[in-house]
Structure 1
Amino acid sequence: MNIKQSIVLRVRVVFILIALFAAAIPYQIIKLQFEEGDQWRAKAETINFQYREVPATRGNIYAGDGSLLATSLPFYRVALDPTMAKSDVFKTGIDSLANNLSAFYRDKSAASYKRMISDARLDKKRYIVLNRRQIGYQDMQKMSNWPIFRQGRLGGGVLFEKVEKRYQPFKSLASRTVGFINEDDYGAGIEYSFNNYLKGQTGKALFQRLAGGSWKPVFDAEDVKPEDGYDVITTLDVNIQDVAETALLRQLIDRDAEFGSVIVMEVKTGQIKAITNLQRNKSGNGYGENYNFAIGDQGNTEPGSTFKLFSMLALLEENKVSLEDKVETGNGSYRFYDRIMRDAKNGGYGTITVREAFEKSSNVAISKLVEENFGSSPSKFLAYLDQVGLNEPFDFQLVGEGKPFFKKPGTKTWYGTSLPWISIGYESKLNPLHTLALYNAVANNGKMMKPYIVKGIAKGNRVEERFDPVVMRDEIASEKTIKQLQELLEGVVANGTAKNIASEDFKIAGKTGTAQKLENGRYTKNYYTSFAGYFPADRPKYSMIVVIDSPKGFAAYGGDVSAPVFKEIAYRVYALDMELNPTNQQTIASETSEESPMPVIRAGHAQEIHQILEELGVAADATQNEEWVQTWAAEKTVKWKNNPVDQTTIPDVAGLSLRDALFILENKGLKVDYTGKGRVKAQSIPAGTKINPNSTINLTLG
């Protein structure tokens, strides 16, 4: 075969192959169209159209008085299907729409917006995002009336895609307690613990996949609307919470401490009124709520001398000691087995009564008493933990509650010194919540209440589920023992380690605590300081615990560090609570006689005064444009004048209630001390003086 024939043969083979391939194409098209068409069309549907989840609006979180602690605010991203509008609607409206978009977003010219929308329409694009910036509900309503947009989703192609953001109106207030939850359903606090209530029921809607991987919602009769979440109503009091955070933060800064916690609880019910946790930020600059030390595992630590209340309970229940019995502490050191225990006072206390031992917080005395009476049967001492209810978690409503820990006789960790050291708050672990529950039970005449922070689940104005007070122990000890413990706690403040917080206005009962911190297996000179107690001692309404970790400086003990914070919070709460401090009401009543029924209000918040006068049916000669005012009575009318609260100078707080004066002055960064009762009669820094941040102003009440 010559070369020519070979070439011709090859060409014919290639031609035949091309012909066969060309014939196969129509065959495959016919096969796909008729034999496999349904299968591939169904697959295309699943790829390009999907029913996807539509999140529900998350429920709100409220304080006990109805103040909003967390809510979901709706924001919207504006998108458009430029092919939906009819030609006449598009032509007459595109210029005005482009002008409105340019004026609103201010990121590009009207011509740019017009070109972007028109080009997308020509290219038959079904979905474009006009601007990534999210807008609020009011702006969405306004945009809905713009040209083209006013035709709606089907007539104009506009899509307002809802994006919800969690918002806390009080910012950082109780932020860790309110908590958070992320996209992976991990979180903390109320948001996480009550997520099943708050998240609601997701819906479903049909979405179409577009070029670029974006999805556009498509109206479909089978869409299922999401069901909004339930609201959670807490027991928190925002005023008490604010007071607690302010006082704790001030002391943490002054003492350069690592972290601190405060819990305020209502004695009769166990309702948590405030819970704050502040920890030094990793940068070392300032403090933030990064972990709930008040209830969590990391808050489980050796409680120190606040645990001596439990030791006294066990001793008194056994009828082994009386408060006037004498105990020898010698020079303040005593050997237990192979270790020396020491008192805080150099040289010791010598011979003192049991009452004095508790008031002065003598380690030697308490440990000797416990060792003498329970040394042969330490299990009997620890059995009182079950009687009191401190041996197990409380099943608190927030996830992450720490579990108490106590060594047990007969185990490998039990040692010859374990009992005396446990008796004064070492070789054991409790979180502040458990310690407070014990003190609250003593304040409540022996009845231990279960602490709780959420009191209801609601939908709109209807409460769907209530959480009522729960009694964990009807009596943690005999009535006689409880009365003696109450005496001891009052004595600590009257005569003992917390004399510095004694008050002339109301009685405080409580106990200081100072525990050396265990680091790398050795006790250091860093301290975990605390004060737990309740007030007013003669008619307890609130119990409270304050803990501050690793304070710096001289006298870094519970009585010097934590107790003053307790006193400051107690004073503020006492002033805010009209049930405990009805002085203002009495003052108004005494200034109102039968001859002259006009109330002498003196000064206050204009809106509140106006509401009071409306209730009393008294005329007010004033406008309501002012915020803070000073008032006086004239014939049958109450008149007032504006009392401006300038941002840079000290305001005039004369005549204001203590609550209002504290609100104004502390919001300006001033520290406030006061004496007396009633309304503000005098202030140490004259009104109009330029404010010096962190300075202290003294108020005289009368």
Structure 2
Amino acid sequence: MSSAKQGIALRVRVAFMAVCVVVLAIFLRLINIQWIDGNRWGNLAEQNGFQYRDVKPMRGSIYAENDVLLATSVPLYRLSVDPFIIEEAIFKKDIDSLSVLLALHFQDKSAEEYKKKIVDARTAKKRYITLSPKYVTYQIRKEMMKWPIFREGQRKGGVLFERVNDRSYPFDVLGARTVGYVNDRDEGVVGLEYSFNQDLAGKMGRSLYQRISGGEWKPVNDGTQIKPVDGFDIYTTLDMNIQEIATTHLREALVEYEANFGCVIVMEVETGYIKALVNLGREEDGEYVEKYNYAIGDQGSTDPGSTFKLASMAAVLEDNKLLDLNDTLNIGNGTYNYYGRVMRDAGGTSGNISLLQAFQYSSSVGVSKLVMKQFGNRPQAYINYLYKFGLATPLNFQLAGEARPYIKNPLDPTWSAVTLPWMSVGYELKIAPIHTLTFFNAIANKGKLMQPILVKELKKANTVIKSFSPVIMNEKICSDTTLTKLYQMMEGVVQQGTARAIRDNKYRIAGKTGTSQKVKDGKYVKQYYTSFAGFFPAEAPKYSCIVVIDSPQGVKLSGGDVSAPVFKKIADMLYIRDLEMQKSILNLPDKSPFQVNIPEKNVVYAKDVEAVSKALSIPAFIQANAEWVFPVTKRYAIEWQEKNMLQNAVPSVIGMTLRDALFLLENKGFKVFFDGKGKVKSQSLMPGDKLPQEMKITLYLE
């Protein structure tokens, strides 16, 4: 019994070893076929007429707001047939009817020609022929499946519909450079199609094909197919109504001025969402088409001109908070010589002007003198403000091709003695319109710097794959005090400055004109880059916008004459169609009597306020330990906040009565001269400056 068991165990071991050897041999053979002789067998399979080929997925669609379709891949079908597989009885019975239907639908051959093509292929035992180069839609495919012969299906009727994807753009040229397009390989070339190509494209599938007579390939349904994975859909922030409005008015201006190119960006203030992005360039035939993204790309990145003065004024006011917009400076005859290079004003201003007037009338001499006075000995401090304002670094915009800002610093080999004054008025630097607008938008957004957003979501059907929420790049680019002054300056440009032609009584616009003279071969030429950037309604900003028109032709070629009217037309259309925007203005609280009767410019002696308030039994909210105060109006009360008077600097007495101004200045040792009556409107010495050797100052009263 024991020997029998041993015999059985031996046979089991032998059988097991034999199975292992067979399995190992099969495994080694598979490795040999797959890896060592794989290419040889693959080539042999191809020679024998079989090949695995890629199957394209359906490319994702691109949408604007409210699910408006901007780009989509329409599934079309190539109609082919295997004439040899059709049963004889069916073929003879229905070939004539089928040929007539093919001729009626495609209208490229007669019924007799279609019949001959199919009969000849059947006689030659061809297993695959394309009936027409024209594609058919899914709905037509469904109808064709009811036709004679085809209704028998692929196995008996030989019909084969091969899917091909055709990229369609419902809005055609509207926003074409932003949406982009694909090449013949279904790859994105520019715009969103390129920037989000990986998300839109999906993943390739694989399917077995058989080569048949004529060198054509026929798909074989052998169950080994790997289905393609369709791409994600993109949902953008674009509003096609705003896009159309901006395109229409920009095109009209470009045609009128025979300009080289132009662009418009409309941004939602609170979120940074791009609502319109228009780029139009002139073709040789005079037509304007979307051929380059001037709003963000290198070709649109240039000296911005006077719109950059807003950044310079923001830096000056933030660095010296004692400055008042009524403070004066002398610009002489509107020219100034900086180390042998003369700067000239184009606006005709001269003499003593206020800081507000320097900005309103775009005085390059005035702004550059302010910057040189504040930062001449420390230019890097000025550059640091530009970084803080978001003007010197990339925005990481979602479209590829964003131009990198070119902002020099004192260590740059091209920095010279005249760099700072010329940079302060928008020269010797390069930024794209998208960067300018992002900064202006931050002013409108109470100092909050938002990253521009063009794409909100990636979706698969109704499932959100990825979302792009508003991004705060800097919570506060400057103080509220500076923001208030910037607001006043920008509104002043439209109310009585270089853009007064677009002033409106229904709502207010705040902005800045820009006119940059172009340089060719190292010399200034009579060609200009004109722009207007701003936001509206200024009372409760909802949209910011920039309009750029390059190289306009004609007589009046300033930003106020060329670009600002386009801005106004766009703003008017958006205001008319937006009831919520209108309500936001109508619902603003009226100013209280306190705000009307006590201007916030007034600076008074704190003890006087306390005495008057006590005598009239009026509560006085005075900041503790303050000597000089100014009123800040609240909705139901007035707070008196401290006015900082630097001990070793020229104080600001703007808004004071002559008595208070004399008291303050004479206690500091000044000999005071004055002209006029009333309160101090301006003073001859700049507030915040070091005390002069000759302690003399002149006050101008009104």
TM-score (norm 1): 0.76
Which among 187, 190, 197 is matched to residue 188 of structure 1? 190
- Is the contact made by 2:81 and 2:128 (CA closer than 8 Å) also made in structure 1? yes
Q: Which moved more, 1:548-557 or 1:516-525?
A: 516-525
Q: What's 2:384 paired with?
A: 383
Q: Are 1:156 and 2:157 an aligned pair?
A: yes
2:448 corresponds in structure 1 to 447
1:416-459 CA deviation, whole Å, 9 max, x = no partner? Answer: 11000000000000100000011000000101111010001111
Contact 2:274-2:453 within 8 A present in 1 as well? yes
**Alignment deviations for residues 605-644 of structure 1 (CA, whole Å, 9 cap, x no partner):** xxxxxxxxxxxxxxxxxxxxxxxxxxxxxxxxxxxxxxxx
The alignment's C-alpha RMSD in Å is: 1.9
Contact 2:265 2:276 in 1 (8 A): yes
Deviation at 1:387, TM superposition (A): 1.4
Give, in whole Å, the separation in 1 of the partners of 2:370 and 2:492: 19
The range that moved more, 126-135 or 43-52, is 43-52
Deviation at 1:215, TM superposition (A): 1.6
Select the residue among 217, 220, 232 that pairs with 1:218.
220
Q: Which amino acid aligns with 1:258?
A: N
| Aligned mates of 1:385, 1:237 — CA distance in 2 | 31
Report the Cα offset of residue 510 of structure 1.
Answer: 0.2
The 5 A counterparts of 1:564-583 are 564-581=565-582
**Whole-Å Cα distance in 2 between the matches of residues 543 and 376 of structure 1?**
35
Q: Give the C-alpha shift of residue 40 in structure 1.
A: 8.1
Match for residue 97 of structure 2? 96
SS at match of 2:210: strand
Partner of 2:69: 68
Distance 1:191 1:310 in 2: 34
Report if the CA contact (8 A) 2:180-2:188 is conserved.
no
1:269 partner letter: T
The change in CA–CA distance for 1:415 and 1:218 in structure 2 (over 3 A counts) is: same
Amino acid in structure 1 at the alignment position of 2:339: Y
Distance 1:42 1:490 in 2: 74
> What is the 5 A alignment of 1:677-696?
none
In structure 2, do the counterparts of structure 1 residues 39 and 446 end up closer, same or farther at CA, with 3 Å as the change threshold?
Answer: closer
Give the whole-Å Cα distance in 1 for the aligned partners of 2:243 and 2:82: 49
1:349 positional shift: 2.4
Distance apart, 1:275 and its partner CA: 0.5
**Residue correspondence of structure 1 range 408-487 to structure 2 within 5 A:** 408-487=409-488
Match of 1:598 in 2: none
Q: Which runs of 5+ in 2 are unaligned?
A: 1-36, 588-702
Q: Distance in 2 between matches of 1:38 and 1:505?
A: 77
Which residue in 1 is equivalent to 2:205? 203
Deviations 1:634-687 (A, max 9, x none): xxxxxxxxxxxxxxxxxxxxxxxxxxxxxxxxxxxxxxxxxxxxxxxxxxxxxx
- How big is the shift at 1:194? 0.9
**Contact 2:69–2:170 (8 Å) recurs in 1:** yes
In 2, Cα distance between the equivalents of 1:538 and 1:231? 38
Relative to structure 1, the CA distance from residue 39 to residue 225 in structure 2 (aligned partners, 3 Å threshold; closer, same or farther) is: closer
Structure 1 position 232 matched with structure 2 position 228? no
Aligned residue pair count: 547
Aligned to 1:610: none
- Equivalent-residue separation in structure 2 for 1:133 and 1:256 (angstroms): 42
**In 2 relative to 1, CA 274–114 (structure 1 residues): closer, same or farther, beyond 3 Å?**
same
Structure 1: which 5+ residue stretches go unaligned?
1-36, 587-702
Structure 1 residue 138 displacement after superposition: 2.1
1:614 corresponds to which residue? none
**Structure-1 separation of matches of 2:563 and 2:190:** 27
Query: Shift of residue 163 of structure 1?
Result: 1.9
> Is 1:316 matched up with 2:287?
no
| 2:219 counterpart letter in structure 1 | P
Distance 1:336 1:322 in 2: 26
Find the counterpart in structure 1 of residue 44 from structure 2.
44
Tell me the CA shift for residue 208 of structure 1.
Answer: 1.4
Counterpart CA distance in 2 for 1:46 and 1:137 is: 32
The 3-state SS of whatever aligns with 1:204 is strand
Partner of 2:135, secondary structure, is strand
Which position in structure 2 is the counterpart of 1:6? none
Structure 1 pair 375/219, CA: closer, same or farther in 2 (3 Å)? Answer: same
- More divergent stretch after superposition (41-50 vs 522-531): 41-50
Q: Is the 8 A contact 2:347 2:362 kept in 1?
A: no
TM-score (norm 2): 0.76
Question: Tell me, what secondary structure is at the counterpart of 2:134?
Answer: strand
Alignment-derived partner of residue 332 in structure 2:
330
2: CA distance, partners of 1:212 / 1:527: 62
Identity among equivalent positions (%) equals 50
Deviates more, 1:570-579 or 1:208-217: 208-217
Cα distance in 2, alignment partners of residues 511 and 411 from structure 1 = 29
Q: Which amino acid aligns with 2:325?
A: L
Alignment of 1:486-525 (within 5 A): 486-525=487-526
Q: Is the 8 A contact 2:347 2:361 kept in 1?
A: no
Residue in 1 aligned with 2:631? Answer: none
Amino acid at match of 1:46: E
The equivalent of 2:626 in structure 1 is none
C-alpha displacement of 1:42: 6.1
